[in-house]
Each structure stands twice: as structure tokens, then as C-alpha cells.
Amino acid sequence: MIEFRSVTKQYADGTRAVSEFSAVIPSRKTTVFVGSSGCGKTTLLRMINRMVDPTEGVIEIDGHDIAATEPVALRRSIGYVMQNSGLLPHRRVIDNIATVLLLTRVPKAEAHARALELLDTVGLDRALANRYPGELSGGQQQRVGVARGLAANPNILLMDEPFGAVDPIVRTDLQAETIRLQRELDKTIVFVTHDIDEAFLLGDQVIILEKGATIAQQGSPEEILANPASDFVASFIGADRGKRRLTVSADVPARGDDVLLIDAGGYAAGVISAPGGKLASGSASPKSRSVSNKTSQAGDA
Amino acid sequence: MDWVWRSLPMIWGLVVDHVAVSVPPIILGFILSIPLGYWASRSRVARAILLGLGSVLYTIPALVLIVVLPVALGTAILDPQNLLRALTVYAIAIMVRSSTDAFSSVSDDVRESARAIGYSGVQRFFAVELPLAGPVLLAGVRVVSVSTVSLATVGAVIGISTLGQLFTNGFQLDFQIEIVTGIVAVLIVAAVFDVIITTVGRLLMPWNRRPARTRASRRPAGVTA
Ligand SMILES: Nc1ncnc2c1ncn2[C@@H]1O[C@H](COP(=O)(O)OP(=O)(O)OP(=O)(O)O)[C@@H](O)[C@H]1O
Ligand SMILES: [Mg+2]
């Protein structure tokens, strides 16, 4: 569990990036910070591994104040994945993944063996192990970044817009992979994005932020979708534009069993299967991930 | 031509002396410019001062520097180390700019991510920033090498044995073959240095070449596909 207690960060130039932020990030779940550019997401994330130290307030990991932990040791114990992967261009894939292990003096053979396993874990071919990052596609680099973040088997994985720079198809893949990894490995993931659909897809808990990392709403995707706390949230999640309120199109005839859905703006948003002219009803409790996923793909199309 | 063959042992001796005079300033200039360039890449003020100083130093004529330096440093005018000191000053003057560019060329993303995964400051410098600055540093050393090899000839004027002696002798005796021989020998030394430096660079930085090669080898395949 990670706990922020009235944390404030004011940079040297006077910018108040985070003010009086308090939140609890539960263990073994994915928490997503989502908000527009400059609202303080990266600052929040970097305070967890002490790349940035708060000017006021306390951050605890499992009840221990992190201010008492040596920063370099703390960072080695927490996985970090960033946009553009941040891989070291002069190290082969296998050495990039093994970096943290080698820094903590794990014998090289052991570190490399672990790195190869991690290639499997993130769904990459072991044949890529000896390439340099510049010889991989953006999506592959991002996977290597995730593998590197997992190398020391940390309990906590921090991800700062890790899929911001890859194309939508690859992003969808990587998102699915993140969900799978979180389930399999049971990590506490703190994920930063400005894409609300990604936030709803990945987050068990979503924290919507306004400027200065002020919490606009915090809750599960279902809670937020069903009950936007303010006009800001409604607008941010697209509810006000009716992007998430779908109706069956009256004009376009059904093809096969599928009926076209349109959003409040009148744009095609997806299809729903309707065998024999009757709308299919899904399982009783919607899984927020799949619901928002479909909305996102349709909504962006 | 006959003269060249007969003088070969003498010329070879001068080549050896010339190399001995040129190598230390190149290495010293390289090493000393690294902390300076790193500092200049981190601080705006340091950058302005160091790069300004470098340009000014480089415009001082070599002979003037060789005469002025002992006065400034309080050493004897005929101290054989004066040439080494002067050549090192020139090497640093050139190399500081390259070294500053080299460290500025390391991407902030990579620097930040190295910090994020737990490199300490010193580890990050030696394992990440220095190697990534390598290609630009290498380009700088190549320029310094050529410049030092050619400047080292002025040693002859103050009585230090270098290939410059072929110039001074040749001019005194009005013997053109000797002068031309000197020019060719200096060019050959400079070319050999350059080959050695680029080879070492290639061995130390295999990652620097790889992407270019694969891209080049992929292109024909892409065209036919
Ligand atoms: N090192 C710094 N010095 C001064 N101000 C900073 C620094 N880092 C960030 N800021 C400022 O703090 C605020 C929050 O920045 P932060 O990077 O946390 O935002 P973000 O939500 O991650 O934005 P983005 O989505 O663009 O990445 C911004 O106004 C930014 O300009
Ligand atoms: Mg950010």
C-alpha cells in the first residue's frame, strides 16, 4: 500500500505542481492517475521513488515513510517504465533488461538468465536479446521497457504514459498485456495517462486530477462512469458530449445479427449484436474494462 | 628521390619523435576536456566561459603561445615540456567544444530513465553519459589529432626534434624535396592516427554502427518486396 498524506511539491521556480494531495493506493491493484497535461501526474509518480522529493507531506510505502529510505536503493526496488522506453541505446536488449540486477550485483549469468525469462513474460522472442534498442520497433522497445521494470521482481511498478507513443493497434496489445501481467504477477501498478479510455480500461482505481494534482474524482471506473462528481469530470470522461450514451440507429438497417449504435453526437460508435431483432443482454455485472474498451475503440474511430 | 631513400633512417627517426610529441597532448587534451565539457553542458555560465576561452586560446599563434606560456607558467624558455604544454592547450581549446556538444547530445529521457532505475550519479556518468557522448567525442578527437600532428611541426623552431625539421632544413638549404617529404610524412602520420582513432571508436562503440548498418541492409530488401 502506498499512502500520500497531504503531499505538496513546489519546484524551485515556484511552480506548485502538487498541492495537498492525499490518497491511498491499494496493493496488488492498478491505480491510474489521469488528467490533462501539466496537472502533476509525473510529479506524483516520481515522488513515489524519490526522483522528486515533496516539499511538504509524507509518503509511506507499507507504513514506512520513504523519506527515510536511501533514494538509489528505493529506486532499485521499484520498477519504472516511461514513454519512449528510456532504454539505454548502447546496451543490448538483454543487458537493458538485466540493468537493475547488474546494479545490485547479481552475477551476470544469473541476471541474463532472468532477462531471457522476462522476454518470454512480456511476449517477446528470445532472438531479440542481442539486438540494440535502435533495432527494435517502438512497440517492442516498450515491451523491453516493461521487462526491465519487472527485472528485480519489484512489488511496485510505476508506469508514466508508457504507451503514449505507439500506434493504436500496438497500444491495444500492450494494454491487454499489462492487464494480463498485473493478474499473473500481482503487482501494485501506478499508471499515469492522459487518456481516459486507457484509465478506465486498466484501472481498478482511477484518480482524475485537475491542475495542481487536485483530485476531481476517485473511484472505480464504474463508479465514475455512473456518477461523475462534477461537470469537469463529466466533460473529462466525455459523458457531457454524450460520447458514452449510445442509442440504436434508426436509419441504418441491421446487417446480420448486428445493429449499429450511435452516440449522442450522431456518430457511429459501434455495433451490438441482436439475434432475431432482439438486443443481446450481457452478464449482469459489467466488467468495466471490457465496456470501456469497446467504447474507446468505437469512440475514437 | 634518391635523397629520400638515403635519408629514410633519419626520416623514420623524426617520425618516431613526431609521434612521441603528438600523442601525449592528444590524450591529455581528451581527458582534461571531459570534466570541462561535462560542466559546460550542465551550466549555462560555465558553457559561456569555457567555450569563449577556448575560441580565444585557439586564435593565439603557436609560436607566440610557446614563448608566452613559459613566462606565464614561470618555466624555462627552453624547457622541452613547453611544446607539450602548448599543444595540450590547443587540444583542450578544440576539444572542450566537442566535449560540451557530446554531453549535451545525451537525451534527457535516457538520463532520467537511468536515474529512475537506480543508477547513482557516478555510475550514471561512467556507464551511461560518457559512452553515449562517445560518438561526438570521437569526432572531436579526430579533429584534435589532425591539428596536433600538424602543429607539432613548430617544435623544430624551438629545437625539438619533429618532422618540422625537414621544413626548417629544407628552407635553409632551399631543398624542395626535403620540404615535400616533410609535408607527405606529416600527412601520413595524421592519416594513420585517424585510422587508429576510428578503429578504436568502432571497437568501443559497436552500438553506434549497428543501427545504420541494419537500416542500410534492410533497404534493398524493402525495395524488392
Ligand atoms: N523540474 C521542474 N521544474 C519546474 N517545474 C516543473 C518541473 N517539472 C514539472 N514542472 C511543472 O510542474 C507541473 C506539473 O508537471 P508534471 O510533469 O508533473 O505534469 P504531467 O501531469 O505529468 O504532465 P504531462 O501529461 O504533460 O506529462 C507543470 O506545470 C510543469 O511545468
Ligand atoms: Mg508527465
DSSP state letters, B165-188: HHHHHHHHHT-HHHHHHHHHHHHH
ipTM for the assembly:
0.80
Residue B130 cell numbers, joined: 560518457
Q: List, as ranges, residues with CB under 5 A of the ion ligand 2.
A: A 42
* Helix, strand, coil percent content, chain B, rounded in steps of 5: 90, 0, 10
Identity of the residue numbered B13: G
Sheet holding A205-210, edge to edge: A78-82, A156-160, A188-193, A30-34, A205-210, A214-219
Question: How many other C-beta atoms lie within 10 A of the C-beta of residue A188?
Answer: 23
pLDDT tens readout for residues B36-50: 999 999 999 999 999
In whole angstroms, give the CA distance from residue B50 to residue B189: 30
Whichever domain contains B92, its CATH number is 1.10.3720.10
* CB within 8 Å: B208 and A90: yes
What are the beta bridge partners of residue A262? Answer: A247, A268
Structural domain count of chain B:
1
CATH number of A2-236: 3.40.50.300
Name which of B110, B113, B120 is nearest A72 (Cβ-Cβ): B120
Note down the domain range covering B154: 2-208
User: Is B225 inside a domain boundary?
Assistant: no
User: Is B223 inside a domain boundary?
Assistant: no
User: Is B224 inside a domain boundary?
Assistant: no
User: Is B221 inside a domain boundary?
Assistant: no
- Give the minimum alpha-carbon distance from B201 to chain A in angstroms, rounded to a whole number: 13
In whole angstroms, give the CA distance from residue A150 to residue A133: 17
- How do strand A205-210 and strand A258-262 relate by DSSP bridges? unpaired
User: Is B153 inside a domain boundary?
Assistant: yes
User: Is B215 inside a domain boundary?
Assistant: no
Tens-binned pLDDT, residue by residue, of chain A (301 aa): 999 999 999 999 999 999 999 999 999 999 999 999 999 999 999 999 999 999 999 999 999 999 999 999 999 999 999 988 789 999 999 999 999 999 999 999 999 999 999 999 999 999 999 999 999 999 999 999 999 999 999 999 999 999 988 889 999 999 999 999 999 999 999 999 999 999 999 999 999 999 999 999 999 999 999 899 999 999 999 876 666 777 777 776 666 777 888 877 777 878 887 776 677 666 656 554 433 333 333 333 3
pLDDT tens readout for residues B172-217: 999 999 999 999 999 999 999 999 999 999 999 988 865 444 443 4
pLDDT tens readout for residues A62-115: 999 999 999 999 999 999 999 887 899 999 999 999 999 999 999 999 999 999
Chain B residue numbers with beta carbons less than 8 Å from the beta carbon of A104 are 118
Q: Which residue has the cell 524519490?
A: A50
Q: Is A191 helix (H, G, I), strand (E, B) or coil?
A: strand
Q: Is the CB of A46 under 6 A from ligand 1?
A: no
Looking at the CA of A195, name the nearest ligand. 1
Reported pTM: 0.83
Residue extents of the structural domains in chain A: 2-236, 246-288
User: Is B46 inside a domain boundary?
Assistant: yes
User: Is B214 inside a domain boundary?
Assistant: no
Model pLDDT, residue B222: 35
Q: Where are the beta strands (DSSP E) in chain A?
A: 2-10, 16-25, 30-34, 56-61, 64-65, 78-82, 156-160, 188-193, 205-210, 214-219, 247-248, 258-262, 268-273
Ligand 1 atom 30, closest CA:
A38
Name which of A51, A73, A90 is nearest B116 (Cβ-Cβ): A51
